[in-house]
Structure 1
Amino acid sequence: MQKIFAAKKAIVAIFLVLGVLAGASLLQLKFSFDFSQFFPEGDEDLVFYQEFIEDFGTDDNFLLVAVTHDSSVFEKRFLKTFDSFSRNAKSLPYVTESLSLTTVFYPLKTGMGYIRLPVINIGDATKYEADWKKIQEDGLFINSLIDEDATSLVLALETEDGLNYMQSRELLTAVRQRLRENGFGNYHLLGRTFFYEALVDMQKEELAFTTISATLLVFLVLFLVYRRVWVIVIALFSILLALLLFLGLLSVLGKELTVLAAFYPILLLIVGTSDVVHIMDDYLGKLQGGLEKGLAMQRALREVGVSTLLTSVTTAIGFASLLTSKSSSVSGFGIDAALGVIVAFVTIIFFSCSVLLLTDKKYLLPKDQRSAGTKRWSLAMASINRFTKKHPTPILMGSLIFTGICVFGMTQINTNYQIQDSFPKNSAIANDFEFFQEHYAGFRPLEVAVITKGNYKVNDFAVSQEIEKVVQRMKAIAPIQNVQSVNTLYKGVHKANNLNKSDFFILPEKEDTFLSYQREIKKRARKQYAKFVNTDETKTRITAKVLDVGLDTITRVYQGLNTFIATQTDSTKATFKLTGTGILLDKNAFYVKDSLIQGLLMGLVLVALIMVLLFKNLKLLLISLLPNLLPLLFAAALLGFLDIPLEATISVVFAIVFGIAVDDTIHFLGRYKVGLNNGKNKEEAIAITFAETGRALVITTTTLFLGFLVLLFSKHLPSVTIGLLVSVTLLTALVLDLLLLPVLLRKLLK
């Protein structure tokens, strides 16, 4: 290390050059949002869905545009304008199909063949009442193209699959321009492209907000503690440089920032602050003690640097435990955050220490070598130490009771997660999502894949009868709406052959009638038929939308539907399997608990191994783990007590708490071990630990606490939850380290 710091000027220069390069690369930083990021990787249902979309395409390639109009949409001028808007929609970028109530027709069989009757006679206002009555009788377009109160109409756009952020923005910009040109000021949007744009824009805002707010917070904490301009500048610049290098590295590696990216500035700034405060505090203390700069830095790194390295490793392990998550978004966040922790450590050790060595100590030390602030800190830490020595039994009993409360809280955890919980309150995306929830069939897609067996084909009458059983069952389930299948085409033709009467919108009872309709459909509706049936007619689909009523409710709905399929359909003719993006999102929630437990156990084992290597004492290992398991239990208990559903993004709380909470314990025990190695007895070592490390623990945890509280002002509701849980549990971890840890050292170590 001496040889390295001999080149301190070169080290500073290298880091500054890297910082400039990293800053230039930020322009290439990519942002991304896609529900597929939360699909359970490797799951058999995901494999099935990927095969399914090869035949039928994705189920989220749509954009719904709902336009509202005063008390009723049945007003001639409005209908004409909306019709013009609808018919020109196919010219929008990336749009492949468009559909609205003004562009669809009822087929009618006459002696002259099939004719088309408009659903709405736009040019004749005297027929509006009859048109609306007919629409209500059929029910086919209610909650899909028009709401039950006839106060809004929907233009349904089908888009190309997999549009990226820039393509989504291009489409939405064009749609909004057309809406303005037609005078439609009151409209609502729903669909993947709208989510993509809104949530990526939110990510960018959140990244800027958290960076600025966390920087100001760190500055405030450093100012209150050190009151020396150069100390604050060196620490803050080092931490911001670490963040810049990390983001630049992500850019160079081609990483895409997901919805969890808003945590990066807080994590890097706060973890970096923890590293720099521990090293700087010890270094400045040794300078005040009269040591020369080089010797002071060597001793600081020997006594605190090892602990800082270990805390960085354990924090990285905590984040890396998220690799067990089946969600690529969560696992990617885990590995990136772990990388960021290492970048922060390397920056602090080499850059910060080099700058400190280059800076004259008169700019670093207070004029009063033994300031009143330092005395207050020493007295406060000594007071806490005396308290732990006088009241060990109450502390142990309190910890036991606290554990019991936490265990009870864990039993209250639920997984009744809703998609709308992820949206910022009172935002355009939240309001539009709620509008479609209340007035239409919602967003969550549901697909039922139908695969024929043996020699049966989808176009066989017997298979259509089996499909109809499932269709009617789905229509009878309240949260499931807008159910469509290939049978919809047969029902439409049957209705057309019976004077367009609504009572005949059913599957024909006779097979020969069914087969005659089939010929008509393949002749006149090939495009619609192809949307439901694959090329060799061995697979078909039933499509629907499911209201966002909560994961627990939806799970019961799916279980009931699967039970009906298993008991009421003939599996020798066809099999039915629920699939789609909604199913995969829901299924991922059930993996959260398992992957969370697996990841934390793996992290616990790795941290335990590090503790054994550091302390070479099994009792110290046990002592170190107990105060760090309780914060995890407390975080889980808060989920239960606050009725916060456990879902993929919330699971990062436990990795953050586990990875960071153990840092204080390592610093405390590391300093305790140094005291013992210097010939002190147990009580003297504990007293020295409180005096020399207690202040740094309080400073860093306070910074962590306030830093994560910044997330309470986030627009992203899961971020608010994570900020609250992490800040409170880290504060709890500090209290346990200062109160419970000394008691355990006295009780368990002889």
Structure 2
Amino acid sequence: MTMLRTLYRHLLLAHPVIALLAFTLLLVFASLRLDHFRLDASAESLVLENDRSLEQYRSINQRFTTSDDFLIVTYTPDHELFSDEGLAALRSLRDELERVEAVGSTNSILNVPLLHSPNLSLDTVNDEILTIDADAVPPQQARQALLANPLYPNLLLSEDGRTTAIQVNLPTPAAYFELLAERKAARAAVTGPEAPDSAHRALAEAEARFLALTESLDARRDATIAEVRTILEGHQDHANIHLGGVPMIVADMIRFIQNDLSTFGIGVLLFLLVTLAIIFRQWRWVLVPLLCCSFTVWLMIGYLGWAEWPVTVISSNFVSLLLIMTLSLTIHLIVRYREFQHDDPGAEPAQTLERTVAAMVKPCFYMAVTTIVAFGSLTFSGIRPVIDFGWMMTIGLTVAFLITFLIFPLLLRLLPPPIDSRVTSDRRPLTDLFASATEHHGTLVLFASLVLAVLCAMGVSRLTVENSFIDYFKSDTEIHQGMIVIDDRLGGTTPLDVIITDDPAPESNGFDDPFASDCDPFVDDCGDEEYRDTWYTYQKMERLAQVHDYLDSLPETGKVLSIATTLDLLAQINEGQALDALQLAFVPAAVPDDLTNILLTPYISEEHDQARFSIRLLETSPNLRRQQLLERIHAHLTGELGFEDEQVLFTGMTVMYNNMLQSLFDSQIKTLGAVFLAIMAMFMVLFRSVKLALIGIAPNLLAAGSVLGLMGWLGIPLDMMTITVAAITVGIAVDDTIHYIHRFKVEFAQDRHYLATMHRCHRSIGRAMSYTSITIIAGFSILVLSNFIPTIYFGLFTGFAMLMALLGALTLLPKLILVFKPFGAEA
């Protein structure tokens, strides 16, 4: 240690200008790739590390010729929709949207087949198809035909006929799937321990090509959505128009997070600046901490740019957290420096600086290591973005510690702060009131902590991991209003697919000719291969109709589409008569080729023996609980309808999002006890006392429990961002605990008097803890102005966590020390 201190003094502190110049070169090097820093809100950022849901989702979409890559434009004209003027205005909007470069096609009431004609029948359907675009269909006749068609109401047209939708298809280029397959093959080639270097190089090249393509596609998506919004603004004067769809949700989430990172990042810095100026009233104590915070964030963003490591929705708050941690470290150094100035005002600034660094390096190192352990719990999650968040914070905390003990002293060597009147005064700080309260009302502190712990446990038991995308956005935002319109009038927002696989082939009944047996091949599954492999039998269609009716009856579901919808439509064409067994067998041949991709292939895959049910969930439904809904559907299909477990598959964005939430709950909430055990083990290593470890863990438990308990009592569900509050709270509470216990140990050695030591600690380290908490609470209060609700929750709960950690460290922690006397008997 003596050698390190000597090197630190002679190589660093003795040459501050040279050291800062070298550090400036490092900042310049990091800035070379700042433009490569990016956000990722793709489907891959919402799935588990080894979750097959994304692969299944892509496979099902290709198999059934369907996709969620489309925008929905809701259109409610001020006047009658089904009139010559109303349809002309809709056509004008549709034509403008089709001219957008990235738009492949559009679907609307203008171009979909009406399938309504006096001469229409199963025999003439190929010749009697009408559309509003191609045929002179009277508007009211078109309205009647669309509303009578089971396919279009609550999908392209509201049930009252006043609101319609334009589906703007944004096709994914074939190169995307080719590079995706190439990357998958390259990853498989390096799974073994003895993979050659050429395989690793091939993987790196495949990853780079795929990343470049996805970045270009993201840029094209954002530009397309911006162009579509410009077009919609030109038609707002005569209609109420909203934009929706999965690509738009992803784009807006990224946009809100980017705005929060930039706008509120600057706002937080300004709040911190004002608060530091009010507390310390010296420009050096404002400039130096802000420079340290900025350097930490700068280096981390530069590193992420060089590593091409994207920040996701989950890890987007790492910048704010690094500001918290770096600021906390620097404030502790500032307060300790001022204490030494107070104790020895005649000392040289360099001597005071060395004493400060020597006194604070150990507790700050303990704090950084223990906080890394808390955030390290995130790396045990099964979700790649959460794992990345854990590693980002681990690296970031290391950078913050190094910046604090390398750059902070160098800046003070060049800008030595003078002694002001506030340093030399002996005013009683506000924190001493907490010491007096703990001394005279210690029993009340323990009782209140016990009551709070019980309330926290009750609140934690009420936590849920459900949330709706609509709850992420304020009610005055376009995305929120659009989701309400789509849910209320156009059949729901979030996609969910239920896939039914055909029964295994039964054994042959011994007859070569199915018509020579008692088995009806159009009703029963006979042994003949020709009839066994088709879905279009009466028995199978009857079971699929039962599935459709059940899914449609659920209050959480909006529009449900399946082969049953197509059969209902064909029954209308068939003079209102349901198709008999023979007609069912010839449905694939009877449907015209240009309608196959609308009526058949999205719902039946004969090649893979699968049937698909396309469901839109109502995000505005107060009863929406994704996990319970999926469990209820699975139980009904396997229990009541007799399907086997392996025959039922759920896929879609709903499934991937739900899997992510459930995994977060399992890996973070249920393993929080293991995290506390790890922190307690760290305490035992640091303080070498089981008693001190148990005492130190108490305020941490109370702080984390208070935040989670409050969320439970308020009915705020855990989602992909708020669920990390637990680890954040633990990391914050640990800081105050370590600093207080370390200072108590140092101060207690002076007179071995517990009560006097507590008062001295509250006047010294307690002041630093209060300054840190006040500064951070003030800075993060600006996040409540965000349009992104999870960002608002993050700001509020971070501030609340700081407050509870401070109160626990200033009341419960010293009271436990006074009661159990972990440092030995008094003198």
Q: What TM-score comes out, normalization by structure 1 length? A: 0.90
How far, CA to CA, are the matches of 2:95 and 2:121 in structure 1?
25
User: How far 1:628 sits from its partner (Å)?
Assistant: 1.0
For residues 23-77 of structure 1, the C-alpha deviation after alignment (integer angstroms, 9 at most, x for no partner) is 4432222122235423344346556545534534675222111222114211212
In the alignment, is the contact (CA less than 8 A) between 1:441 and 1:545 conserved in 2?
yes
Q: Which residue of 1 aligns with 2:189?
A: none
- Which of the numbers 10, 29, 35 marks the counterpart of 2:18? 10
How far, CA to CA, are the matches of 1:325 and 1:225 in structure 2?
40
Within the alignment, does 1:436 sit opposite 2:486 as a pair?
Answer: yes
Q: Which residue of 2 aligns with 1:166?
A: 219
Within the alignment, does 1:590 sit opposite 2:662 as a pair?
Answer: yes
Q: Which residue of 2 aligns with 1:256?
A: 310
User: How far 1:678 sits from its partner (Å)?
Assistant: 5.2
- Which of the numbers 613, 617, 627 marks the counterpart of 1:546? 617
User: How far 1:168 sits from its partner (Å)?
Assistant: 1.0
What SS does the corresponding residue of 2:126 show, helix, strand or coil?
strand
In the alignment, is the contact (CA less than 8 A) between 1:489 and 1:521 conserved in 2?
no
In the alignment, is the contact (CA less than 8 A) between 1:142 and 1:148 conserved in 2?
yes
Q: Which residue of 1 aligns with 2:328?
A: 274
Partner AA of 1:226 in structure 2: F
Q: Which residue of 1 aligns with 2:154?
A: 143
Q: How does 1:211-230 map to 2 (within 5 A)?
A: 211-230=265-284
Root mean square deviation, CA, Å: 2.9
Within the alignment, does 1:407 sit opposite 2:484 as a pair?
Answer: no
Going from structure 1 to structure 2, the CA distance change for 1:714 and 1:110 (only over 3 Å counts) comes to closer
Going from structure 1 to structure 2, the CA distance change for 1:533 and 1:179 (only over 3 Å counts) comes to same
How far, CA to CA, are the matches of 1:316 and 1:655 in structure 2?
10
How far, CA to CA, are the matches of 2:674 and 2:692 in structure 1?
20
Q: How does 1:312-327 map to 2 (within 5 A)?
A: 312-327=368-383
What SS does the corresponding residue of 1:114 show, helix, strand or coil?
coil
Q: How does 1:167-246 map to 2 (within 5 A)?
A: 167-176=220-229, 178-179=231-232, 186-246=240-300
User: How far 1:748 sits from its partner (Å)?
Assistant: 0.8
Partner AA of 1:168 in structure 2: R
Q: Which residue of 2 aligns with 1:634?
A: 706
Within the alignment, does 1:116 sit opposite 2:128 as a pair?
Answer: yes
- Which of the numbers 629, 636, 645 marks the counterpart of 2:717? 645
Going from structure 1 to structure 2, the CA distance change for 1:105 and 1:84 (only over 3 Å counts) comes to farther
Partner AA of 2:107 in structure 1: L
Q: How does 1:688-703 map to 2 (within 5 A)?
A: 688-703=760-775
How far, CA to CA, are the matches of 1:69 and 1:245 in structure 2?
52
What SS does the corresponding residue of 1:531 show, helix, strand or coil?
coil
Partner AA of 1:673 in structure 2: K
Q: How does 1:503-652 map to 2 (within 5 A)?
A: 503-504=576-577, 506=578, 508-510=579-581, 512-521=582-591, 523=593, 525-528=595-598, 529-534=600-605, 536-548=607-619, 549-550=621-622, 552-571=624-643, 575-652=647-724
Q: Which residue of 2 aligns with 1:66?
A: 74
How far, CA to CA, are the matches of 1:585 and 1:133 in structure 2?
38
Q: How does 1:26-45 map to 2 (within 5 A)?
A: 26-43=34-51
User: How far 1:295 sits from its partner (Å)?
Assistant: 3.7
Within the alignment, does 1:389 sit opposite 2:445 as a pair?
Answer: no
How far, CA to CA, are the matches of 1:572 and 1:685 in structure 2?
69
**Structure 1 range deviating more: 433-442 or 578-587:** 578-587
For residues 609-636 of structure 1, the C-alpha deviation after alignment (integer angstroms, 9 at most, x for no partner) is 2211211111110110011100111112
User: How far 1:426 sits from its partner (Å)?
Assistant: 0.8
Within the alignment, does 1:332 sit opposite 2:408 as a pair?
Answer: no
How far, CA to CA, are the matches of 1:674 and 1:168 in structure 2?
59
Going from structure 1 to structure 2, the CA distance change for 1:98 and 1:246 (only over 3 Å counts) comes to same
What SS does the corresponding residue of 1:586 show, helix, strand or coil?
helix
User: How far 1:167 sits from its partner (Å)?
Assistant: 1.9
Q: Which residue of 1 aligns with 2:740?
A: 668
Going from structure 1 to structure 2, the CA distance change for 1:173 and 1:423 (only over 3 Å counts) comes to same
- Which of the numbers 472, 478, 482 marks the counterpart of 2:559? 482
Q: How does 1:41-60 map to 2 (within 5 A)?
A: 41-43=49-51, 48-49=56-57, 51-53=59-61, 55-56=63-64, 59-60=67-68
**Structure 2 unpaired stretches of 5+:** 177-213, 506-531
Going from structure 1 to structure 2, the CA distance change for 1:92 and 1:490 (only over 3 Å counts) comes to farther
**Structure 1 range deviating more: 294-303 or 397-406:** 294-303
Going from structure 1 to structure 2, the CA distance change for 1:713 and 1:469 (only over 3 Å counts) comes to same
For residues 85-127 of structure 1, the C-alpha deviation after alignment (integer angstroms, 9 at most, x for no partner) is 54675554344442111111244348767223435489768x3
- Which of the numbers 703, 724, 735 marks the counterpart of 2:796? 724
**Structure 1 range deviating more: 669-678 or 55-64:** 55-64
User: How far 1:568 sits from its partner (Å)?
Assistant: 4.1
How far, CA to CA, are the matches of 1:379 and 1:159 in structure 2?
63
How far, CA to CA, are the matches of 1:409 and 1:120 in structure 2?
57
How far, CA to CA, are the matches of 1:451 and 1:296 in structure 2?
75
How far, CA to CA, are the matches of 1:651 and 1:3 in structure 2?
44
Aligned residues: percent identity? 21
What SS does the corresponding residue of 1:638 show, helix, strand or coil?
helix
In the alignment, is the contact (CA less than 8 A) between 2:296 and 2:400 conserved in 1?
yes
- Which of the numbers 338, 346, 355 marks the counterpart of 2:402? 346
Within the alignment, does 1:83 sit opposite 2:83 as a pair?
Answer: no
What SS does the corresponding residue of 2:127 show, helix, strand or coil?
strand
User: How far 1:276 sits from its partner (Å)?
Assistant: 0.6
How far, CA to CA, are the matches of 2:338 and 2:429 in structure 1?
19
Partner AA of 2:556 in structure 1: P
User: How far 1:714 sits from its partner (Å)?
Assistant: 1.7
Going from structure 1 to structure 2, the CA distance change for 1:601 and 1:460 (only over 3 Å counts) comes to same
**Structure 1 range deviating more: 411-420 or 343-352:** 411-420
Going from structure 1 to structure 2, the CA distance change for 1:110 and 1:701 (only over 3 Å counts) comes to closer
How far, CA to CA, are the matches of 2:363 and 2:73 in structure 1?
57
For residues 494-525 of structure 1, the C-alpha deviation after alignment (integer angstroms, 9 at most, x for no partner) is 543x3xx4x34x5x222x21122222337554
User: How far 1:145 sits from its partner (Å)?
Assistant: 0.7
Going from structure 1 to structure 2, the CA distance change for 1:379 and 1:701 (only over 3 Å counts) comes to closer
**Structure 1 range deviating more: 298-307 or 730-739:** 298-307
In the alignment, is the contact (CA less than 8 A) between 1:59 and 1:445 conserved in 2?
no
In the alignment, is the contact (CA less than 8 A) between 1:453 and 1:574 conserved in 2?
no
In the alignment, is the contact (CA less than 8 A) between 1:392 and 1:743 conserved in 2?
yes
How far, CA to CA, are the matches of 1:243 and 1:266 in structure 2?
9
Q: Which residue of 1 aligns with 2:541?
A: 464
Going from structure 1 to structure 2, the CA distance change for 1:487 and 1:411 (only over 3 Å counts) comes to closer
How far, CA to CA, are the matches of 1:531 and 1:707 in structure 2?
51
User: How far 1:487 sits from its partner (Å)?
Assistant: 4.4
Q: Which residue of 2 aligns with 1:284?
A: 338
For residues 641-678 of structure 1, the C-alpha deviation after alignment (integer angstroms, 9 at most, x for no partner) is 21211222111111111101110110001111222455
User: How far 1:744 sits from its partner (Å)?
Assistant: 0.8
In the alignment, is the contact (CA less than 8 A) between 1:276 and 1:348 conserved in 2?
yes
In the alignment of these two chains, the number of paired residues is 736
In the alignment, is the contact (CA less than 8 A) between 1:67 and 1:154 conserved in 2?
yes
What SS does the corresponding residue of 1:65 show, helix, strand or coil?
strand
Q: Which residue of 1 aligns with 2:411?
A: 355
How far, CA to CA, are the matches of 1:523 and 1:58 in structure 2?
17
**Structure 1 range deviating more: 290-299 or 639-648:** 290-299
Within the alignment, does 1:306 sit opposite 2:380 as a pair?
Answer: no
How far, CA to CA, are the matches of 1:358 and 1:182 in structure 2?
61
In the alignment, is the contact (CA less than 8 A) between 2:337 and 2:356 conserved in 1?
yes
How far, CA to CA, are the matches of 1:216 and 1:649 in structure 2?
24
Going from structure 1 to structure 2, the CA distance change for 1:394 and 1:596 (only over 3 Å counts) comes to same
How far, CA to CA, are the matches of 1:231 and 1:180 in structure 2?
49
Within the alignment, does 1:365 sit opposite 2:414 as a pair?
Answer: no
Going from structure 1 to structure 2, the CA distance change for 1:672 and 1:119 (only over 3 Å counts) comes to same
- Which of the numbers 103, 127, 132 marks the counterpart of 2:143? 132
